[in-house]
Amino acid sequence: MMKLPEPFDSSLENFSKAVTIIERLLQEKKVRIRSSPGANISFKIEPQLFAARAETAGLPAADASKALREVSAMVSLILHQPQAEQVFENMIERVVKDEGKDVSRSEKEEAKAILTEKARLTSKLVSDRIRRKFHAFRASKHDIIANVKWEVVERKYDKDEGEKARGAVVILKVDLTRRPEHDFWVPFLFEDPSRRSFLVECDDDDLEEVLETLQQAKTRLSQHQGEH
């Protein structure tokens, strides 16, 4: 069998297990639906929780994270292009061209059948909520938060402030993206030209301010949603 195109190259068995895990965690409301570059969908699950479910399902730890990303990518592809067969054919031809090997028609058909089955499995994850999130991301007129990470660092010395600057601080890294400029844009086929990041240095008071403000915003959003 020929090599499957990235990022859809995990085994069908592993992919199916990942879909089942995500489906159950969605039902348990333990999945955050996030925007990834190009206003695509990504599933954010607490790593230890997903690892535990993967172990129970017999999904190898080395393949779990990749399978999760692959399912997210397939959901995005389905939302972008409900009839994905032509996309699959183009991806398969690209793999054949890149590898420079002779591939039989039956091998191509087998690869396409696997990708089509992965799309069918993934389609049951595409709920009305996920569709609304996807279209909201694409309609956004502002930057979208793709990811937020943090790190505690020790500031030991500053050339102007000397030892007086010593102390631990938190560095927040916020990754941003924008709505795609084209109707059909997927991150696994093209680089995201709008992707950018910024860093913010915070101490205890800064973090309390951020948390308090975000909690107020979340409360008001919930009230507004309840009113409509």
217 with 130, same domain: the answer is no
pLDDT level of residue 192 (50, 70, 90 thresholds): low
Q: Report the DSSP pairing between strands 40-44 and 32-36.
A: antiparallel
- pTM for this model (two decimals): 0.77
Q: For residue 42, what pLDDT is reported?
A: 85
Distances (CA, A) of 44 to 99, 123, 178, 197: 33, 18, 19, 19
When pLDDT is averaged across residues 206-221 and rounded to a whole number, the result is: 94
* Domain assignment of residue 6, yes or no: no
- pLDDT recorded at residue 180: 64
For residues 133 and 157, membership in a common domain is answered with no
- Predicted local confidence at residue 38, as pLDDT: 58
Residue 53 falls inside a structural domain = yes
How many domains, in total, are found in the chain? 2
Which domain range does residue 152 map to?
144-177+195-227
- 161: number of CA atoms within 13 Å, CB side? 8
114 and 87 within one domain: yes
Residue 181 has pLDDT above 70, yes or no: no
Shared domain for 52 and 112, answered yes or no, is: yes
122 and 157 together in one domain:
no
Which whole number is the average pLDDT over 7-14? 89
* Torsion angle of C-alpha atoms 85, 90, 92, 95, degrees rounded to 10: -160
